[in-house]
Amino acid sequence: MATQRSRRLVEALLATAGIRINGGNPWDIRVHDERFFARVLADGSLGAGEAYMDNWWDCPRLDEFFFRLLRHNIEDQVRTGRQMLYQNVLSRIGNPQHIARAFRSTRQHYDLGNDLFRAMLDSRMMYSCAYWKDADTLEEAQEKKLDLTCRKSQLQPGMHVLDVGCGWGGFAKFAAERYRVKVTGITLSEQQATLARNVCEGWPVDIRLQDYRTLRGTFDRIVSIGMFEHVGPNNYRTFMTRMAALLKDDGLFLLHSIGANVSSYATDAWLERYIFPGSVLPSVSQIGKAIEGLFVMEDWHSFGAYYDRTLMAWHNNFIANGEKLKTSYDDRFFRMWTYYLLSCAGSFRARKNQLWQIVLSKRGSPAGYESYR
């Protein structure tokens, strides 16, 4: 009886988004285990994600399912208060992104294996939103993003650039090769650092396994691509204060980050547990408060709609290389990773998440700043 009641509740919720149980549309879900309904009602997004990993349900087009679900705010109606309260309290009273935890959290995701990311990403292994304007392939779109970043940063030969969260060295090598600059890159991932050093060998690039809070020196330019999401609300001001101290007075700081529509101190429970522990998406107001009195905002470019296309390209690569990856990753991981990529694509498609490139200066450019698009 309880199972039938749970099923009716879930069916009614999904119906408001045009989603049916065992329906004929590609965004309709197929339920293999009736316990799915009670699990979702009890545990919200965490329960739904774990149930998918356990093969309790399927959907031919998870990206379309999540687009409809999120566009109609269904997740707000099944989010458990206890779950969100625990996450928010834990984030506010502690600091989940302190240095020791930051190293552990980063390695849980980014040290999964370079083979996984090499199979999924473009040749430069850029693990951030591509810029699809006038681009047809992922390779072209990521190169356009890198060049856009360099032009916005107004790089000149001989400059010293700090790359905060340098990943596998894609930006560092591109900037050194195309714009003749010297780059210092920092990451918390051992596997990223090792590969980045190999990728950048022979170029004026120094890759360090180091947290931004321990870095000293001064730089002509600072670039951070896809790292700020891991800083955490308790550290936003600390991060910006450190960037201001590291940047020369006439320098520019480009911040490339996923953004949230509303301020929060916690992330989705399933993503927190299985994909990005310790990550929180910043809002416009949180970034604004963090930079106040430290930086002048020169440019704010939003192109979050491009992340949908980027994630779908990653998913296509992941599936295309599935047989090769199955020697290292089991079926449960494949379901988890598929759920991650397609749920995020649906979220960006629904405009729940944003992508921003923000250019900051310490004093404001006397002649003004020319925006590039």
Q: Supply 55's token pair.
A: 């093969």
CB 166 within 8 A of CB 210: no
57 DSSP β-pair partners:
31
Report the C-alpha gap between 230 and 164 in whole angstroms: 12
Cβ–Cβ under 8 Å, residues 300 and 358: yes
Which candidate in 59, 150, 200, 344 is catalytic?
344
Q: In the structure encoding, which two tokens stand for residue 173, read together?
A: 């090598």
Task: Go through 16-50 and write b for each residue having 16 or more CB atoms within 10 A of its CB, e for each that does not.
Answer: ebebebeeeeebbbebeeeebbbbbbebbbbbbbb
Backbone angles phi, psi at 97, to 5 degrees: -110, 25
Interacting residues of 104 by C-beta distance below 8 A, sequence separation 6+: 277
Q: Establish whether 150 is a catalytic residue.
A: no
Any idea which residues carry the catalytic annotation?
A: 344
